[in-house]
């Protein structure tokens, strides 16, 4: 028996797929896997089959056409083709998490492409598929161009490939955004973007902070926030959450010692910090606030907004160290501080001061 891959378009009507499979079965062809990919022209059926050694490519095509299949493509396959598509995609995703620079090779493996090339961004270039050519947007800039002799690409293949490209870009961006900060007292902390997987570490951060620190962060009280609220803070729909973490010298598990939130709303972004008590007054809050301000500048926000208790001297000093004067509105025991960003960012780019 010989392994073959067969791809054919079948009218998306009841019973048509069974006619095709029956035509193959009459010739002793055993269907091992089948994937159905909807297209505008009909359902594209992708089979992995085990066929008698006596059957050649022409006979397989004839069997497909007798089964009402059209635009048939047939090619020999290898034993590795027995892995189902989800397993193959997950394996490639795992590879990209470890090595995002392998995006081109992952795309080649996923789609059996003859060529994969990266090109700079250019205007007027339409992303999508045209026959056996595919153009994918690279979130980091530019695009990936793929070609293969046959068969033509399908919308489902395009969606899978674009998802892999976006995964690689996310991994690369997170790696670039992770830094090690050296504080004025010589202590080192790692700073990185948060994800939903950090929930347990952030819960522990809140539990180890004093009620006063939690009250200064959330203003409304010292109670522990609900996990659902923390999940939203870890991955805001607009903005960024940074975590500062340390690892013990004995190789102990990572510990979250601070959380900094930038939550976008309109053209402004609200900022809030929570620093574990034993890490306060060491310059960590100032370093996190500067990084959030830089991100807000790049993202094009017009201003930062901070809601602070009037008696929270440490936070007020941290804000002054940012060096960006702003407006202050007082409402009883609370201050709302608005720090303009757009003008400051423009001045930085021009090498002037405001």
- The pTM assigned to this predicted structure is 0.54
List pLDDT tens digits, range 66-111: 999 999 999 998 776 666 778 888 899 998 888 888 899 999 999 9
pLDDT of residue 80: 66
pLDDT of residue 42: 82
Alpha-helix runs per DSSP H in the chain: 16-25, 57-66, 85-98, 103-111, 155-177, 199-208, 211-218, 227-234, 284-299, 313-321, 342-350
List pLDDT tens digits, range 107-158: 999 999 999 998 875 545 678 999 899 999 888 778 899 999 989 999 999 9
Q: Domains in the chain, start-ordered, CATH in brackets?
A: 2-81 (3.30.70.260), 85-177 (no CATH), 179-340 (3.40.630.30)
Q: Which helix (H) or strand (E) holds 33?
A: strand 30-39
Taking 60 as the threshold, does the pLDDT of residue 353 lie above it?
no
pLDDT band, residue 1 (cuts 50/70/90): confident
């Amino acid at each position: 028996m010989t392994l073959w891959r067969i791809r054919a378009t079948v009218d998306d009507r009841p019973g048509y797929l069974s006619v095709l499979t029956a035509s193959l079965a009459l010739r002793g062809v055993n269907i091992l896997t089948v994937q159905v990919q909807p297209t505008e022209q009909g359902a594209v059926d992708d089979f992995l089959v085990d066929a008698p050694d006596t059957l050649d490519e022409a006979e397989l095509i004839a069997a497909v056409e007798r089964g009402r299949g059209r635009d048939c493509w047939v090619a020999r396959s290898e034993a590795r083709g027995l892995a189902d598509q989800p397993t193959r995609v997950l394996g490639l995703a795992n590879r990209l998490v470890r090595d995002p620079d392998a995006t081109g090779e992952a795309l080649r493996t996923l789609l059996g492409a003859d060529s994969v090339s990266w090109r700079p961004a250019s205007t007027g270039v339409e992303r999508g598929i045209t026959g056996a050519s595919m153009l994918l947007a690279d979130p980091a800039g530019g695009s990936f161009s793929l070609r293969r002799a046959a068969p033509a690409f399908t919308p489902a293949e395009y969606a899978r490939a674009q998802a892999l490209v976006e995964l690689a870009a996310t991994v690369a961006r997170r790696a670039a955004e992770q830094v090690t900060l050296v504080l004025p007292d010589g202590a080192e902390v790692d700073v990185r973007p948060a994800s939903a997987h950090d929930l347990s570490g952030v819960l522990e951060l809140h539990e180890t902070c004093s009620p006063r620190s939690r009250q200064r962060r959330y203003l409304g009280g010292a109670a522990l926030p609900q996990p659902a609220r923390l999940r939203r803070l870890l991955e805001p729909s607009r903005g960024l959450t940074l975590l500062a973490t340390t690892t013990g010298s004995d190789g102990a598990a990572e510990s979250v010692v601070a959380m900094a939130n930038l939550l976008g709303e309109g053209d402004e972004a609200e900022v809030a910090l929570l620093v574990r008590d034993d890490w306060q007054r060491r310059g960590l809050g100032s370093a996190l606030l500067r990084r959030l301000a830089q991100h807000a500048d790049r993202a094009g926000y017009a201003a930062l907004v901070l809601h602070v208790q009037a008696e929270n001297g440490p936070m007020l000093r941290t804000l002054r160290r940012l060096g960006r004067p702003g407006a202050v509105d007082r409402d009883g025991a609370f201050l709302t501080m608005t720090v303009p960003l757009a003008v400051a960012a423009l001045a930085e780019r021009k090498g002037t001061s405001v």
